[in-house]
Structure 1
Amino acid sequence: MLNRADALWRAATYVAVVLLHLDDNQLLTEPLQTDHVKPRSAGHWGTVPGTAWALAHTVLAAGELGPGRELVPVIGAGHAGVVQLAYAWLTGELAAVRPQYSRDATGLRWLARNFPDVDVLGSETHPLLPAGAAPGGCLGGALAFSHGMALDVPGRVVVPIVGDGECETPTTAASWLAARALQGSAVLPIVHVNGFRMGDRSLLGAMSDAELVAYAAGLGWRGRVVRVTSATVDEHQAFRDALAVSAHEVAEGSRTAVFLRCVKGWSGPEAVDGRQVLGTAAAHKTPLDGARGNEAQRGQLERWLASYQPAELFDHDGQPIGALAEALESAAWHCAAGPGLPTRERPKPVVLGSAARFGEAVGSVLRGHATAGDFRVFSPDELSSNRLGPLRGESWVSEVLAEEVLLGWLSGWISSGRRGVLVSYEAFAPLLTAGIVGHLKHRRLAEEKAFPSLNLLLTSYGWHNVFTHGDPSLATALLATEDPAVTVLVPADTQRTAAALDAALNSTGRVNVLVAGKYTELRLPLETAEEELARGLAIWPHLSDEEDPDLTIVVAGDLPAEAVTAAVPVLRDRLGCRIRVVGVLDLTVLGDPGRWPKGLTDVEVDHYLGERSAVLVVTLGHPAAVWGLLAGRLRLVDVLGWREPPGPMSQDALARELGLDTAGLLRVAGRLVTRPEAAR
């Protein structure tokens, strides 16, 4: 196996260097000439040798496991995409998704020429290729993601390759400790300690071996340090042994990590144009950026490529030979495309009107899905505060006070085809923005729409402590992406919350953000609830005049529903106008149907909002989010919603501050219906 591991490592590293530097002569069958070298090299080199090493040993070890057991590699650093592409070309997985990159000399030539702008694949880690399950755009999430992917899958050990720079991120730092809160999640991190992040020395890189082991131990992990400097047989053997022993320990329930200690950019140029590269931050990107026009650099590049002995790895047509062919035959690239668990029946739909209080209604939905199986709830330490305290202690509920870690767990969990939800406060959800946007980008590239949705249930809007616990920024940011997978659900009462949550948990291919109050006791008629679920909005007859309206009030959320319900009789009496009230469940219906799947057509706008009516939108969130959705489609409109208050105040005072009381609604509605254009 050691010869195979060395051949696989050399081949992947060689191909990565080729992708970074060569336009031609990719198999080095003749002396390197000027026109063989790219005019401008681009990409990241420093992480290549260590990542390629870790992957080579992991997939070869995976190939030796018996039935029912698997090692699943996960690349943490998006910059390691060049390594992923190299392995994908070597295994033929790249040709399976992009046939033009066949596993031969021609395919390698096209791949190298197109890198870094590889057709719809780019140069970062990609979900269509081996070891690319974790979103790579948001640094630091791979360890948490791997725990979610491994959770409740017997026989699976997930092996995230985590850079020492990643370990400085809050998400990774919290993930080590948070692992204590999970049972049944076998994860074996390989921490790639090459000593430097992009610009300077890494904090882990500055530690001694003893300090690394002590650091891991303090967080509840057993650490093994393996040093690799020149890919000797002894180094291969040491790493193989450490990986094998650690994988066995992890499979038996221990928390173990392997620290791969190496030099940044090892096996590459030591110095370029008199500047030290090896073992410095200068090795992070391509070190030979002038090899086309600089003869000395071109000679370095040729010697560098030749050091991997490509003639021992490939024949004249680029086909693997010898130990490399044996390695590719015996390696196993397990993925998380299915958890190996039986498909369960989905729970019966929610019966509207069966529960009035938030905790009872939402808890019933969550228990129903848990009973159906393959379901998890992830939450920070607020389940009791969110009226869901009876769920604490259930085997399918995990709590830890780190929202970014919870998002990683949920993302990894659903990547295996399971369903779940993250329950938190709306005020804390903006912490998740980068991770969710990365998830959206990753899913967009995956070309797979049938995976379960990423679901968030967010509460706390309207807390008495409104100054610190009022922030609807996540929904605003996600709507600004105009990603059609985004759904922002704002149910008007608890019954609608339960039904919307149930529908979200049964959905696929979406990011559902459901914002609901846990205190609301408003109970609205249910005659339009089914239409709200199906179409995203409905006219509320109990608050609306039958004739064409002069003023249409669009209600988006429970607090707006309470305020509008109280204000409509006063508005009708004071303004002497016909009023229609429209309840919106899915905010995206207000958007352009060319961008949003549920966006209202022009005909539907007239049907729901009226052909000549002034429109007042009352929302839980930022008015800017609604204005962005409307994008000038309505002639006479105003929006009331969240604005940052000047300081702490009572709920009644906040309502007055925001205009979400009867007097405020009357002022804005009066301006709308008395404008000259409203009479036309």
Structure 2
Amino acid sequence: MTISPIKPQTPASSTSNNWATVEESPLTPDELNKINAYWRAANYLSVGQIYLLDNPLLKEPLKLEHIKPRLLGHWGTTPGLNFIYAHLNRVIKRDDLDMIYIAGPGHGGPALVANVYLEGTYSEYYPDISQDEAGMKALFKQFSFPGGIPSHVAPETPGSIHEGGELGYALSHAYGAAFDNPDLIVACVVGDGEAETGALATAWHSNKFLNPIGDGAVLPILHLNGYKIANPTILARLTQHELESLFVGYGYKPYFVEGSDPETLHQYMAATVDRAIADIRSIQQQARTQGLQGRPCWPMIILRSPKGWTGPAEVDGKKTEGYWRSHQVPFSNMANNPNHIALLENWMKGYKPEELFDKNGTLIPELAELAPKGHRRMGDNPHANGGLLLKALKMPSFQNYAVEVPEPGTTIAQATKVMGEFLRDIIKLNSRSFRLFGPDETASNRLSAVFEESDRTWLAQMYPDDDHLSTDGRVMEVLSEHTCQGWLEGYLLTGRHGLFSCYEAFIHIIDSMFNQHAKWLKTTNDIIWRRPIASLTYLLTSHVWRQDHNGFSHQDPGFIDHVANKKAEVIRVYLPPDANTLLSVTDHCLRSCQYVNVIVAGKQPALQYLDMPSAIKHCTKGIGIWEWASSDRGAEPDLVMACAGDVPTMETLAAVDLLRQHFPELKVRVVNIVDLMKLQPESEHPHGLSDKDFDAIFTTDKPIIFAYHGYPWLIHRLTYRRTNHHNLHVRGYKEEGTTTTPFDMVVLNELDRFHLVMDAIDRVPQLGYAAAYIKQMLQDRLIEHQQYVRQHGDDLPEIRNWKWPYSSPANASNGESESHSSPSH
């Protein structure tokens, strides 16, 4: 079969090439014609996915019944993505490169599906999408079709680690994938619309963290096609000098490729990719043989090509190619406009499919030969299915870091400081597969012990008095939550492990990134060839109840609510009340796969409640009656005092202490919740308690006072189906805060011990009218507190120094009830 040679065209613009353009022609005429034909094949398949339901090879005249009734997808960015893929295939095959492809314009889904189909990967993963006419028909039909695949580069697409449903994260994902992958090159296409996002703008600085000795390389390809959905893009309207200055300022060596003439652009792109790969190899070889000589200047490519390239120049007399009208579906309304059917047919036939596919619909051998083989295909690279490469962490025994707790509520320790010692040794044992990510808060969050083993990664300029900076640290800090999240996601998706530490209030910055990752995990659970990856674990500390010094702006526990909206199979939320429970929870989370784990724990000195054996039992169950704090053993409780979170736990225990002092005959049951999802029914969450077990713990008719770390309504949402929900009264954060004392924060939100006791008085009928005197006393104590903190700037001594009164006869053991053992881990 003869492949038509390229015919020279007039370039779209004649701007001077006085910037970094490689004007060389490395392709022979045969190579040029073949790579162009391969590109045509990918474009043909891409258009077919958007439009066709049948007649995939156009063997008969195109009719309305051959066209999808609902046209969905994005054409504008697709030909550029196909163009880049073809050129990367060339160097992968020639140089035996280990490379993956991240498509920032994720709505260019047709391009990536077309290319992994052409290289044979798609049919191997989906045998019903065969490499023949029937398979091509199935390929076309499934795209953006009920029961088929999404229009984005989704988890269903082999070779993808980046959904692209929301723009801004491609480059941080790419760098995360490259860390600790010394042989991997991550080609990352950044769309010019995506380049306008704040997350992407910050991610360019990731080159200051990439070590050419132990890490792989990222090749950013900024694809400027000029327009977003209906507007021009900023970077596409910059002058060449401005663009070059921008990226030189970022620390890159930019190469420019521009035009619309395929012959010229193929040659320039081939030469430029060759030069970029040579630069990468030179940087790595020098660093790996002679040592690191300063921060490298990594190459990048800036490709300018028309939006909707090779598509219809005009539709209904309006400019389409090279304009925003080609962004999605260039034309529709097929049923009412027969001219559009003819236009589509002419468009697709312009790619000359009869030269690209044989009569059976199979790509001709001389073109199929252009694709790499086996795992060198970007669609089949194991790094893009990270679970294939995942190895379990080597974990020290968390019990070795236990805080001694001889008596509950009397010992003081800092939970995250203890956790830092555990993380330090995890880093020591997993020096190339575990990293700690966070926005300049590792020390602030009391995890400083990790610096005994590893420094912060830093390849920018260093001064002699810098603190814990090195070129090969395991601690990744940059003051961009977006970049930290993207790095960690890329690291996990390519088969490694990590943890993200952040102030609780500011984790909201990555709300939508969490959304995308949670959706990815949910989807991949149903894709048989996707292997499980390590869980994404957040440590949220510097939390709402101890942000008294920073004030209202730093007080927000709402990320838990956001997480709880996602599918139960994916999310887990833990509120360990002390250091030993935090150790147990952390060990569990870092061993898990396919979850998003949220751990909320305080960093300030605080009371410790459970020794290590008790902590393990409590965390394994996720919820339990604290017998040592309760007084209802052998009888029905009059009141259930429940708590979740470290500060709510302390206030609950202090309230129980007051109840014992003033109402010694009252039978109180204390329930602590570590695993928040235990509150849901087992039908709603895998960790949920059965109704029988829930009723046994919380009773079916007794009042429940619940002190909760976050917004109270989440507890009601999780428990609204339970028998005793009508007796449940929840105290939590009610958006009251300021710069004040720790205890004043809980008072402002009425979560303090005095309000909890008053709630009990109001809800336990047998306390009778005599309780009015106690209630008045509690109100007086609140007034005294208010006056004291405003005069002295600190909490009352009896508040600051309160400990659990271990002299109480009810304190029989440093444990909890063993009667409810539904496993939480």
* TM-score relative to the length of structure 1: 0.94
Q: Aligned residue for 2:562?
A: 477
Contact 2:681–2:691, Cα closer than 8 Å, also in 1 = no
Give the one of 634, 645, 648 matched to 1:560.
648
The reply to whether residue 592 of structure 1 matches residue 681 of structure 2 is yes
C-alpha spacing 1:249/1:304, structure 2 compared with 1 (3 Å) = same
Root-mean-square deviation (Å): 2.2
After TM superposition, list the pairs within 5 Å mapping 1:455-474 onto structure 2. Answer: 455-461=537-543, 462-464=546-548, 465-474=550-559
Distance 2:533 2:313 in 1: 46
Q: Aligned residue for 1:328?
A: 371
Give the one of 391, 406, 414 matched to 2:450.
391
User: How far apart are residue 129 of structure 1 and its match?
Assistant: 2.1
Give the one of 213, 223, 226 matched to 1:192.
223
C-alpha spacing 1:627/1:60, structure 2 compared with 1 (3 Å) = farther
Residue identity opposite 1:383 in structure 2:
T
C-alpha spacing 1:125/1:520, structure 2 compared with 1 (3 Å) = same
Q: Aligned residue for 2:695?
A: 606
- Using the TM superposition, name which of 91-100 and 301-310 deviates more: 91-100
Residue identity opposite 2:718 in structure 1:
L
Give the SS at the match of 2:418: helix
Q: Aligned residue for 2:277?
A: 247
Residue identity opposite 2:743 in structure 1:
D
- Using the TM superposition, name which of 608-617 and 72-81 deviates more: 608-617
CA deviations 1:545-565 (Å, max 9, x no partner) are 213322112211110111112
Q: Aligned residue for 1:503?
A: 588
Give the one of 422, 429, 435 matched to 1:365.
422
Distance 2:335 2:48 in 1: 13
Q: Aligned residue for 1:617?
A: 706
- Using the TM superposition, name which of 275-284 and 646-655 deviates more: 646-655
- Using the TM superposition, name which of 200-209 and 644-653 deviates more: 644-653
* Structure 1 segments unaligned to the other structure (5+ residues): none
Distance 2:622 2:330 in 1: 54
After TM superposition, list the pairs within 5 Å mapping 1:148-167 onto structure 2. Answer: 148-167=176-195
CA deviations 1:68-112 (Å, max 9, x no partner) are x41111122221112222223323333334333222111221232
- Using the TM superposition, name which of 401-410 and 136-145 deviates more: 136-145
Q: Aligned residue for 1:237?
A: 267
Give the one of 29, 54, 69 matched to 1:24.
54
Contact 1:89–1:108, Cα closer than 8 Å, also in 2 = no
Contact 1:4–1:326, Cα closer than 8 Å, also in 2 = no
Q: Aligned residue for 2:354?
A: 311
CA deviations 1:229-281 (Å, max 9, x no partner) are 1322x321211121122123234254221111111111001111111112221
C-alpha spacing 1:73/1:449, structure 2 compared with 1 (3 Å) = closer
Q: Aligned residue for 2:625?
A: 539
Contact 1:40–1:290, Cα closer than 8 Å, also in 2 = no
CA deviations 1:283-325 (Å, max 9, x no partner) are 1111120234423222221221111111111012110114322
Contact 2:133–2:360, Cα closer than 8 Å, also in 1 = yes
Distance 2:56 2:492 in 1: 40
Q: Aligned residue for 1:432?
A: 510
Q: Aligned residue for 1:346?
A: 395
Identity of aligned residues (%): 31
Give the SS at the match of 2:262: coil
Distance 1:197 1:553 in 2: 55
C-alpha spacing 1:480/1:653, structure 2 compared with 1 (3 Å) = same
Q: Aligned residue for 1:630?
A: 719
User: How far apart are residue 45 of structure 1 and its match?
Assistant: 0.8
C-alpha spacing 1:673/1:244, structure 2 compared with 1 (3 Å) = farther
C-alpha spacing 1:341/1:481, structure 2 compared with 1 (3 Å) = closer
After TM superposition, list the pairs within 5 Å mapping 1:34-433 onto structure 2. Answer: 34-66=64-96, 69-117=97-145, 119=147, 121-183=149-211, 184-232=215-263, 234-251=264-281, 252-253=283-284, 254-328=297-371, 332-333=377-378, 334-336=381-383, 337-338=385-386, 345-351=394-400, 353-354=402-403, 356-373=413-430, 374-392=433-451, 393-394=455-456, 395-433=473-511
Distance 2:623 2:578 in 1: 14
What is the number of residues matched between the two proteins? 673
Distance 1:573 1:485 in 2: 44
Give the SS at the match of 2:308: coil
Distance 1:646 1:360 in 2: 26
- Using the TM superposition, name which of 279-288 and 352-361 deviates more: 352-361
Distance 2:222 2:766 in 1: 65
Give the number of the structure whose alpha-carbon radius of gyration is greater: 2
Residue identity opposite 1:376 in structure 2:
R
- Using the TM superposition, name which of 354-363 and 422-431 deviates more: 354-363
- Using the TM superposition, name which of 418-427 and 87-96 deviates more: 87-96
Contact 2:178–2:217, Cα closer than 8 Å, also in 1 = yes
User: How far apart are residue 422 of structure 1 and its match?
Assistant: 0.7
User: How far apart are residue 532 of structure 1 and its match?
Assistant: 2.2
* Structure 2 segments unaligned to the other structure (5+ residues): 1-30, 285-296, 405-412, 457-472, 768-825
Residue identity opposite 1:519 in structure 2:
Q
Give the SS at the match of 2:714: helix
Give the SS at the match of 2:584: helix
User: How far apart are residue 582 of structure 1 and its match?
Assistant: 1.3
Give the SS at the match of 1:598: coil
Distance 2:758 2:392 in 1: 55
Contact 2:499–2:538, Cα closer than 8 Å, also in 1 = yes
User: How far apart are residue 639 of structure 1 and its match?
Assistant: 0.9
Give the SS at the match of 2:175: helix
Contact 1:531–1:537, Cα closer than 8 Å, also in 2 = no
C-alpha spacing 1:306/1:457, structure 2 compared with 1 (3 Å) = same
Contact 1:182–1:398, Cα closer than 8 Å, also in 2 = no
Residue identity opposite 2:440 in structure 1:
D
C-alpha spacing 1:37/1:292, structure 2 compared with 1 (3 Å) = farther
Contact 1:494–1:521, Cα closer than 8 Å, also in 2 = no
User: How far apart are residue 152 of structure 1 and its match?
Assistant: 0.9
Give the SS at the match of 1:287: coil
Q: Aligned residue for 1:570?
A: 658
